[in-house]
Amino acid sequence: MKISRRAEKMPASPIRKLVPYAEKAKERGIKVYHLNIGQPDIPTPEIFFRYLRKNLGDVVAYSHSAGIIELRRAFLNYYASFGVELTEDEVIVTNGGSEAVIFAMAAIADPGDEIVVIEPFYANYKGFASLLNIKLVPVRAEVSNGYRLPPKERFEEVITSKTRAILFSNPSNPTGVVLTSSEIDTLIQFAEKHNLFLISDEVYREFAFDGRESISLLKHYKSERVIMTDSLSKRYSACGTRIGLFATHNRQIYDAAMKFAQARLSPPTVAQLGAVGLLELGKEYTDKIKNEYQLRRDVVFEELSKIPGVLLTKPEGAFYVSVALPVDDAERFVKWMLTDFNDSGETVMVAPLSGFYATEGSGKKEIRIAYVLERRKLKRACELLRKGIEGYNRL
């Protein structure tokens, strides 16, 4: 007996595949600072648990396939607060933002079709595309240019008769870039020229720093070619709730996504009950969280900038920074930090960035850092990284 070719081709998560090395380090008594995954340490707001206790009945039943109406309406009120107007039958509550992206891909592309991505990109896009037998076609954002949007000529070079969409996250995971209005217009004009869909992953919408605004595509461009995906995971420190959202004005695409939603029955009812409360918190709460991440960003940027040979640009949003290291192979270095290095019984785990590229061999010397720990711990983690680089390069 053998497994399917689909299973054989499915890439391992670059974010999670090195976890066994961290677990073994902990078994040896080593403290590991986890900067490899976007799991916030900020407590989930108490209102989530209060709404859960208040609304949980005697039976945990299926919900509507598009999500409970109370949560859909809460999402609509949330979007309306920053100028995005949607209706109840234009949104689907999903099992995290991941399912929303999968629904979007599956609704617009057949096996063998192509979706353009700006690399480096959220690593799990590769897994979603592999599952659906869709080809991701990369356009490179260069570390030397601060990972800014590539010129439109680079997009023109990769367009074929099989191209169906452009997929991007804004603010960017993993680079922290926040697209400007002009850059978004470039993507819109390109999509209109080639009759493409735009899949806008807006999970980190609130986290735009230094007075910047993260522009929601459906506010800027009310078009049926737009699919917006979202999640409560990061802004409310609620990753385990697995509550995301799929939204579009396109009736045909929405109906297709609803078929997928019905096939998986419903999003998690229990989590939805608590999520209603989260969406009532408003801008005062999200601004407070954004300000904390901005302070963490400042600490990480300052400390990393002190390390000789490191190349980075100050992140504009999200809670990640992509960094080029003075090492021969970032993945080998990350493993070594977990297997052979410690300083006073401590080490740090980061994510190799090669898995965030579709182009083979790219990102070999780059890492992604998630600044999801308190500032004191981040400073220590950066110190460990510096000492690790020094030790590794002496080998």
For residue range 108-140, list pLDDT tens digits in order: 999 999 999 999 999 999 999 999 999 999 999
The residue extents of the domains of the chain are 5-43+284-392, 46-281
Share of the chain above pLDDT 90, in %: 97
Q: Which of 108, 331, 71 is nearest to 226 (CA)?
A: 108
**Tokens for 108?**
């617009």
Whether residue 15 has pLDDT greater than 90: no
Give the DSSP letter of residue 54. Answer: H
pTM (2 d.p.) = 0.97
CB 319 within 8 Å of CB 204: yes
Mean pLDDT of 356-380: 97
- Sign of the Cα torsion 147, 133, 222, 262 reads negative
Report the candidate in 275, 270, 241, 246 with the shortest Cα–Cα distance to residue 258. Answer: 246
**Number of Cβ within a 10 Å radius of residue 336:** 18
Backbone angles phi, psi at 246, to 5 degrees: -115, 130
Question: Is it the case that residue 333 has pLDDT exceeding 90?
Answer: yes
**Widest Cα–Cα separation across the chain:** 62
The answer to whether 228 and 104 are in contact (CB under 8 A) is no
Residue 148, C-beta contacts closer than 8 angstroms, at least 6 positions apart: 141, 177, 183
CA distances from 327 to 142, 166, 217, 309, 371 (A): 18, 33, 38, 9, 21
Q: What CATH number belongs to 5-43+284-392?
A: 3.90.1150.10
- Section 327-347 average pLDDT: 98
pLDDT for residue 57 is more than 90: no
Averaged pLDDT for residues 51-61: 93
Any idea which fold 46-281 has?
Answer: Aspartate Aminotransferase; domain 2 (3.40.640)
Q: What is the DSSP string of 336-368?
A: HHHHT--BTTEEEE-EEGGGG-SSTTTTTTEEE
When the pLDDT of each residue in the chain is averaged and rounded to a whole number, the result is 97
pLDDT at 174 over 90: yes
User: For residue range 289-314, what is the model confidence (pLDDT) as tens digits?
Assistant: 999 999 999 999 999 999 999 999 99
> Which residue(s) pair with 247 in the sheet?
91, 228
Query: What confidence category does residue 46 fall into, taking pLDDT thresholds of 50, 70 and 90?
Result: very high
Mean pLDDT, residues 233-259 taken together:
98
DSSP one-letter code for 157: T
340 pLDDT band, cuts 50/70/90, is very high
- Contact between 163 and 139 under an 8 Å Cβ cutoff? The reply is no
Of the candidate ranges 4-13, 195-204, 225-234, the one whose mean pLDDT is the lowest: 4-13
The pLDDT score that the predictor gives to residue 283 is 94
Nearest to 19 by CA among 306, 332, 350, 256: 350
What pLDDT, on the 0 to 100 scale, is given for residue 17? 87
pLDDT at 14: 80
| Residue 121 to residues 35, 166, 203, 210, Cα–Cα distance (Å) | 17, 12, 13, 23
Q: Which helix (H) or strand (E) holds 218?
A: helix 217-220
- Average pLDDT of the segment spanning 5-32: 93
d(CA 99, CA 308): 41
Residues 49-63, mean pLDDT to the nearest whole number: 94
Arithmetic mean of pLDDT, 31-35: 98
Q: What is the mean pLDDT of residues 77-95?
A: 98
Burial class of residue 207, CB neighbours in 10 A (0-12, 13-18, 19+): buried
Mean pLDDT of 21-30: 98
